[in-house]
């Protein structure tokens, strides 16, 4: 065990070796020396693996250690399994063709979803299943299941017959490669 060069100490990230998804984080503080310590990867796995889902353990677990990690690292980053490095998740962005709908049960709008990197550049190589949910109204896709191709997807939303000041439509990635995105609308 070695003392950490960072005052916050090293953060050990346990990740799924198939998906790169961070499934657990661990820091080791030594009370006697009042420092955070870097410990061997196998020890981190021994401490963390019993609390992890069977699927993650079946896929295989890996550990990387980072200094000065970003805030909320498990929610905003993945581990690039090949390079053994931390990379930001892609971002889902949702935009409605119009954000004010008549609350008549018939007015509708199209919602465009795009996948971007952390610099805002489109990720044209992204393909996969996404999920959409709405706080009100009816989605055009059964169960909110949409498929992205070329880094984009679209679906419709029909207003319900009511007046609602804020309707939120959220799009997420079940595989965990992207952070969720949302758009707010209004039914007049």
Domains of the chain, start order: 2-88 (no CATH), 90-187 (2.60.40.10)
Ranges 20-24, 57-61, 76-80, 152-156: which has the least confidence: 57-61
pLDDT value for 54: 81
Beta strands in the chain (DSSP E): 2-3, 10-16, 22-26, 28-30, 35-38, 61-67, 77-80, 85-88, 90-96, 100-101, 108-116, 128-134, 138-139, 145-148, 152-158, 164-172, 178-179, 181-187
Which tens digit of pLDDT belongs to each residue from 98-136? 999 999 999 999 999 999 998 999 999 999 999 999 999
Which tens digit of pLDDT belongs to each residue from 135-165? 999 999 999 999 999 999 999 999 999 999 9
Task: Report the candidate in 66, 55, 1, 64 with the shortest Cα–Cα distance to residue 28.
Answer: 1
């Amino acid at each position: 065990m070695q003392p950490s060069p960072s005052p916050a100490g090293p953060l050990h990230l346990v990740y799924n070796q198939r998906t790169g998804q961070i499934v657990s984080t661990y820091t080791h503080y030594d009370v006697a020396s009042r420092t955070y310590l870097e410990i061997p990867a196998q020890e981190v796995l021994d401490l963390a693996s019993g609390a992890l889902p069977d699927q993650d353990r079946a896929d295989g677990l890996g550990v990387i250690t980072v200094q000065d990690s970003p805030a909320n690292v498990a929610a905003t980053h993945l581990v690039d399994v090949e390079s053994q490095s931390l990379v930001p998740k892609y971002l889902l962005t949702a935009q409605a063709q119009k954000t004010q709908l008549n609350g008549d049960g018939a007015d509708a709008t199209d919602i465009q979803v795009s996948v971007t990197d952390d610099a805002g550049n489109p990720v044209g190589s992204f393909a996969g299943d996404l999920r959409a949910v709405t706080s009100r109204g009816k989605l055009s896709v059964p169960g909110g299941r949409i498929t992205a191709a070329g880094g984009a997807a679209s679906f419709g939303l029909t207003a319900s017959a009511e007046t609602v000041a804020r309707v939120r439509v959220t799009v997420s990635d079940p595989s965990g490669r992207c952070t969720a995105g949302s758009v707010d609308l209004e039914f007049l």
